[in-house]
């Protein structure tokens, strides 16, 4: 995490700088609503300090984009200075790159009211949910990742005070596991969704292999996936694009419909999310496309 692939010329000190030391142009929303998409540009407000963050949205209204996170979504942000995940709210800015293609930029507001602008997606993640498959980093024996599942419904303060984790093969539940010692767990054969870009968004995919240092601390595993088709009807993906291709775990998620179904049933502890992975085959692909 000390050397991150972050867009633009930003160093770690700038990432952690107070708002007063930052460029303020992305903190003010456009006043001309006719030139701003109604899909974004909303204010994100800190409930604790009352401060707001509003990102510029300069994409035309007829430009359709697919986000990884939504405005105001509750997330966890990795603080480089503290070396841990902290609670935050997301704000999304829409603009164009040098070639005129749509581009999304993600910023967050912390509970303190401070902002972190133009972040790389590996610096942001959704909070874990009940039953979700995770890996817990154990420092014993030089360090290794151990399979487990989130036990019970996490509180809103779990990112700060720790998650309850059921470790595979262990009858006990590990309490108050620090968020920085947890990462999402995927396995070969899992049917998931992979994020391509802001034009194509999330598409159904199958995990072919998982890397990412079982013996070393890496906040995100490295996956190889095969994309099973674009979400849009005009599937223009080439055979090379479909894969197998490398896909970082921060651009992979469980199928939305399957997660919603698990939540509505009320995940019963440590096995629910593994049921999603076990579906496999055409049935899981149909769920991913739903």
Banded model confidence at residue 80, pLDDT cuts 50, 70, 90? very high
Q: How far apart are CA 55 and CA 74, in angstroms?
A: 16
Q: What is the mean pLDDT of residues 162-172?
A: 89
Assigned fold of 133-184: SH3 type barrels. (2.30.30)
Least confident of 7-21, 98-112, 188-202, 224-238: 7-21
Q: What is the pLDDT of residues 168-189, one digit of tens each?
A: 888 778 889 999 999 999 999 9
Give buried/exposed letters for 185-196 (b at 16+ CB in 10 A, else e).
bbeeebbbbbbb
| pLDDT confidence of residue 236 | 54
- Give the other-Cβ count within 10 Å of 201's Cβ: 18
Which is nearest to 144 in space by CA: 221, 219, 210, 217? 217
**pTM value?**
0.72
Break the chain into its structural domains and give their ranges: 12-125, 133-184, 191-289
């Amino acid at each position: 995490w000390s050397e991150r692939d972050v867009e633009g010329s930003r160093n770690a000190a700038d990432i952690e700088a107070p708002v007063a030391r930052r460029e303020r142009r992305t903190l003010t929303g456009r006043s001309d609503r006719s030139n701003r998409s109604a899909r974004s540009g909303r204010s994100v407000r800190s409930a604790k300090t009352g401060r707001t963050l509003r990102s510029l949205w300069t994409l035309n209204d007829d430009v359709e984009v697919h986000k990884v996170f939504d405005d105001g979504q509750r997330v966890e942000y990795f603080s480089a200075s503290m070396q841990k995940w902290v609670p935050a709210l997301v704000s999304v800015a829409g603009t164009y790159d040098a070639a005129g293609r749509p581009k999304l930029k993600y910023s967050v507001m912390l509970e303190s009211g401070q902002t972190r602008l133009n972040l790389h997606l590996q610096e942001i993640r959704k909070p874990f949910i009940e039953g979700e498959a995770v890996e817990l980093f154990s420092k014993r024996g030089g360090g290794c990742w151990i399979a487990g599942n989130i036990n019970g419904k996490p509180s809103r303060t779990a990112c700060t005070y720790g998650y309850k984790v059921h470790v595979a093969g262990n009858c006990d539940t590990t309490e108050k596991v620090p968020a920085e010692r947890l990462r999402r767990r995927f396995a070969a054969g899992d049917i998931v969704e992979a994020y391509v870009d802001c034009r194509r968004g999330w598409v159904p995919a199958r995990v072919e292999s998982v890397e990412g240092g079982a013996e070393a601390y890496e906040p995100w595993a490295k996956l190889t996936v095969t994309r099973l088709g674009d979400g849009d009807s005009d599937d223009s993906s080439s055979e090379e694009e479909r894969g197998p291709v490398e896909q970082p775990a921060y651009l992979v998620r469980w199928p939305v419909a399957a997660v919603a179904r698990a939540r509505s049933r009320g995940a019963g502890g440590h096995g629910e999310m593994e049921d999603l992975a076990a579906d496999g085959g055409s049935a899981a692909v149909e769920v991913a496309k739903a």
